[in-house]
Chains A and B, each alone.
Chain A
């Protein structure tokens, strides 16, 4: 069984700073990480491989330094890493990204065997769109299973899969046919510590690196800025609110401060006091 995990290297958002004057992102020195949501996808892929055999290929599109994330994935136990990198991808929105990835996935099928399952995380922490997974599925004509909480049954011989999917207001038990694209829900597993053997292997492993042309992309007008229907008109810091915050004076004791805070809350929202009273009386 061949499983491909699509990952993204993202800036560690906790450490992003905005320049106070120019309002631009200060990228320098911001460490990058594997998109945390993708780790749930990777772990699920590794578990399936461990159970039923086969190979896990990780794929990422990004600048050359995205190799770091791929190498990390190899230390966790992935069997093969493919880096899709080309200047013509710069500025890709999700439609252009799903195009490039889908072509690369077709190339992976040719070179290393057709994957039965393609995994992604449910979304990235920098874009937060959750659109690339469905985009890949649609472009490759794969059955799409988003927000998967659990793989309940997988029968590669019969070509069938049953999953629990987080839906609005409940869990759907869905069955469909392979090949599928799965976006994995967060918190459903925990990424393993890579073995020492994996770490040694990862350090020496050659990363398959493809340019757009290598991957078989012939139409560059579908890539990068040119291939992106959305444009970013402006980026800005949120405006200051006209109304200034009213500070509650800090008293000698927490009890006195709490009293002042409660009074201030009821002064601003008089109706709330009555509602709370009715709630409290109903208890």
Chain B
């Protein structure tokens, strides 16, 4: 019975560990690659950072002028002609190869043994953030200059969009949720049914008419345009979640306050808002992650204006135009993930609560 239990728990934990590993490896590979040298990323897999057996250069021999290159030569105990050497010669644990031409070339001596890639730096981040031109020396000695990307600007833009696009819908929704929960007025039920119906409406249906309004107002390409759109799209869920929470607050507290002659506004600001902090926090995290990670709304309302583009847009643009520049892509992707991951791990409890409260998003 006891051994049965041990075997069971071994299977459970083993299976769980394998699944977790599979889930984490893609992100881990990205993170590792983002700090590797730009040439290394394209030449070897990121897993070469782990100890493995491979050929490693241990020595470069420059034969002096006295060596007759037309006769068989002896290096490291291997005797061979120039032609054989330039093809490369391999013994049990040694590999020797002539690099370059017959007169001024050199010999690369490699040994087979344990090694691990260890050329790490934050150079990729500098390049993708600062937008400077970047000069690198390639293996064959030539230098290339490439342009980087100015993601730090996009990072600020994303903040400028995400903070108001989180706070505005929450404030509007908090007032509305209080109204629905604690006030009597005509058409109250019908209006709330509207909120419920709008929960699952796909936002694609609204994009083009709103875009036309923006064109008329000359609002395209501004943060304002994106806030208003996100406010509209986020409101149904925000109102719904906050209503569910507020309507379940104990009725006696409110009645006592009314008897004391407090107005709705006072009760709302002094009593209900502080009590609703958990619900407000979970929706805030939800909306913030949603806006920060959004691509479609930004793509349509901010468009190609390079000064106002958000992080997701910049990243998508690098994917489109420089899809093989893995040093930019890996570092860039990680920059877009920094803040959401911090928010997520810091406030996971609230986030989970928000999910459990119902998360049908339009």
- Co-assembled chains A and B: no
Chain B contact residues, CB within 8 Å of chain A: none
Chain A contact residues, CB within 8 Å of chain B: none
